[in-house]
């Protein structure tokens, strides 16, 4: 089983990635390596942040690793929160406060179109690779559901009647932005293309 470091301390993301990649890979998070600090995310794009995190871990541990950065882009807010999704309402990265801020800014918005974008940066054998996944949908007027994390409770994907937070991990994993990016990563790990 090949070991891959996922450059995150977020247990929800680690569970989701393990589910998506299956048992072919031994996925460990940063806490498994004894590293619990936040990695800097100073770039202005999702791709830049993903690469910055992967490079940090690769330099520090010398292990094949991947990192992701994910953003919610809302048309009515000029693609905000985007690269600032995790800290939209402040540096404490409170999902509840982030959701409140989005809903407050969208109070009377008619256009509720949005997309989740996930960019994964992989560093293996000293080479960098980038994969992207997107899912489109809309922002609900209030949170619904008990599963998921982040903005899942206010995002409903196109073609579905429930929020991401109302879906099981298996259901969400079939359509999510992260699932689409991971599929590209899996294909690359399997074929080298």
What is the structure's pLDDT at 1? 54
**Contact in structure between 181 and 132 (CB atoms under 8 Å):** yes
Q: Quick one: CATH architecture of 2-191? A: Alpha-Beta Complex (3.90)
Listed by start position, the domains of the chain span 2-191
Catalytic residue numbers, as ranges: 69
Local confidence band at 9 (pLDDT 50, 70, 90 cut-offs)? confident
What ranges make up the beta strands (E) of the chain?
Answer: 2-6, 25-28, 65-74, 80-81, 113-124, 127-139, 155-157
The closest alpha carbon to 8, from 120, 172, 113, belongs to: 120
Summarize pLDDT for 127-174 with one digit per residue, the tens: 999 999 999 999 999 999 998 889 999 999 999 999 999 999 889 988
Tokens 């991401």 belong to residue? 164
Tokens 């999704």 belong to residue? 85
Local confidence band at 15 (pLDDT 50, 70, 90 cut-offs)? confident
Tokens 């794009």 belong to residue? 45
Summarize pLDDT for 72-110 with one digit per residue, the tens: 999 999 999 999 999 999 988 899 999 999 999 999 999
């Amino acid at each position: 089983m090949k070991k891959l470091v996922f450059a995150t301390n977020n247990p929800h993301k680690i569970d989701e990635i393990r589910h998506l990649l299956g048992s072919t890979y031994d996925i460990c998070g940063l806490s498994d390596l004894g590293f619990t600090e936040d990695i800097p995310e100073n770039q202005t794009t999702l791709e830049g942040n993903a690469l910055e995190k992967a490079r940090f871990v690769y330099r520090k541990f010398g292990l094949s690793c991947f990192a992701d950065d994910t953003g919610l882009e809302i048309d009515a807010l000029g693609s905000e929160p985007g690269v600032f999704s995790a800290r939209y309402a402040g540096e404490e990265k409170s999902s509840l406060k982030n959701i409140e801020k989005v809903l407050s800014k969208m109070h009377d918005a008619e256009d509720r179109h949005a997309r989740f974008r996930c960019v994964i940066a992989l560093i293996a054998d000293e080479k960098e690779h980038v994969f992207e996944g997107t899912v489109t949908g809309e922002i609900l007027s209030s949170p619904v559901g008990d599963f998921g994390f982040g903005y899942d409770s206010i995002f409903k994907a196109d073609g579905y009647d429930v929020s991401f937070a109302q879906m099981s991990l298996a259901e969400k994993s079939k359509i999510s932005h992260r699932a689409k990016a991971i599929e590209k990563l899996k294909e690359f790990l399997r074929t080298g293309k």
